[in-house]
Amino acid sequence: MPTPDRTSLEAIVEAGRDIVESEGPTGLTMQAVAARVGVRPPSLYKRVKNRDDLIRLITKATIRDLGDRLAAVEAEAGTGDASGPELDPRRTLADMARALRGFAHTRPAGFGLVFAPQTSPGGADVEAMTVAVAPLLRVAATLAGQEYELEAARTVTAWASGFIAMELAGAFNLGGDVDRAFEFGISRLADALAARPAN
């Protein structure tokens, strides 16, 4: 008679996410994950191929988490139809940037995995990322025009992820209010996108 499953892929991935946050990616071992979910290390290989596969799954789950946060911001902003009035898209964009920043502070190691180079073991899952950033693309299109949707979303993502990465690294050494700087940057960016550049 086969032995019952004592864990699930979801539990393994969540345990891995927690370990990555508490101990960093180097602390993620199959043995540590197995101990966290209460099985022996060989049991993990029924669910994941190897450590690189686990990192890929952790990255994908983290991208979905981020996407859920962006979608929640979009839902709260409304759609301008029967579900409620649409708020200023500049405000929605700023709220999405704040959601990204909050996410990065909650899961800094996960943030690092999401924005890691494609050559890393996790590598951003293109399909998961496409779904996750859809709310940002929609608000970018509203602000900058459909023809600049991708460029606008990339501009915001590059600015916000760069700012946040510097903040997490403690690289702002000249004093001043970092929160104020973030708000200044995102509001100026939203205004610039709304101006719609000439061809």
How big is the chain, counted in residues?
199
pLDDT of residue 108: 95
Within a domain: residue 53?
no
pLDDT of residue 1: 31
Domain count, the chain: 2
4 and 97 fall within a common domain: no
pLDDT tens figures, 111-167: 998 887 765 555 567 888 899 999 999 999 999 999 999 999 999 999 999 999 999
Residue 33 · residue 54 · CB < 8 Å = yes
Whole-model pTM: value is: 0.85
pLDDT of residue 196: 65
Within a domain: residue 56?
no
22 and 76 fall within a common domain: no
Residue 193 · residue 187 · CB < 8 Å = no
pLDDT tens figures, 155-169: 999 999 999 999 999
104 and 151 fall within a common domain: yes
3-state helix, strand, coil in the chain (%, to 5): 70, 0, 30
Residue 68: pLDDT over 60: yes
Residue 29 · residue 51 · CB < 8 Å = yes
Q: Which residues contact 60 (CB under 8 A, 6 or more apart)?
A: 125, 128
Give me the domain span that covers residue 36: 1-48
Residue 172: pLDDT over 90: yes
Q: Out of 55-69, 90-104, 113-127, pick the least confident.
A: 113-127
Residue 140 · residue 156 · CB < 8 Å = yes
